[in-house]
Amino acid sequence: MSAIRLLVLGAVKQHGRAHGYQVRNDLEYWGAHEWSHAKPGSIYHALKQMAKQGLLHAHEVAPSTVGGPPRVEYELTGAGTEEYFALLREALTTYDQKTDVLSAAIGFMVDLPRAETVELLRRRVRALDEWRAEVTGYYTPEGGPEQLGHIGEIMHFWVHSADAGKEWTLGLIERIEGGAYVFAGEGEAFVGVLGEGEENPYAKP
């Protein structure tokens, strides 16, 4: 899965309707330009592609002040909403997602109900356990990586990653079950987007 689709759909959803610069500004505000491939070119390309695919509706709202084409605002279609939630659920559940995909999912997890988010994360824990069991079918962590020569370091890294991923996920589950954050249907959620005209301290020139 590409993080850019989830990031762009999520950013548009948080605004209701948003033009490309707003989406770019939000993603830079979240630091996504540092931990993902959410660069300006890929953001605008994703918006146009998903509009062609019927996931976003493109509204031409105003002529450009500098004589260019009209400004376009994007809004999720029904198919776009379905795609967004499918990507979000997959990203929270799958143990081997890239860091940028999981990071994007964490940023949007509060769009789901609390109980569902916990269940998805528990599935992730089970998948990590299964993956670890596969690795340790060929490699005994207690014996140390040297038992397989330097190649054992690969297995050692996988086991360590599974253990660290499980520990982090269980900690997140504990915080969520303890009442942290405002999830869907619970009231006014945290607003993580910039208002129109609000200065972005992290914007790239």
Q: Among all chains, which residue has been given the structure tokens 């824990």? A: 125
> What are 160-174's pLDDT values in tens digits?
999 999 999 999 999
Q: Where are the alpha helices (DSSP H) in 1-39?
A: 3-15, 20-29, 32-35
pTM: 0.86
Q: Band the pLDDT of 151: cuts 50, 70, 90.
A: confident
Look at residue 195 in the predicted model and tell me its pLDDT.
65
Amino acid at 83: E
Q: Band the pLDDT of 155: cuts 50, 70, 90.
A: confident
> What are 173-196's pLDDT values in tens digits?
999 999 999 999 998 877 666 666
Look at residue 31 in the predicted model and tell me its pLDDT.
80
Look at residue 58 in the predicted model and tell me its pLDDT.
93
DSSP string, 45-82: HHHHHHHHTTSEEEEEEE--TTSSSPEEEEEE-HHHHH
Look at residue 92 in the predicted model and tell me its pLDDT.
96
Residue 202 has pLDDT above 70, yes or no: no
Average pLDDT over residues 8-32: 88
Q: Band the pLDDT of 131: cuts 50, 70, 90.
A: very high
In percent, the amount of the chain with pLDDT more than 90 equals: 53
Average pLDDT of the residues of the chain:
87
| Residues 99, 165 contacting (CB under 8 angstroms) | no
Look at residue 56 in the predicted model and tell me its pLDDT.
97
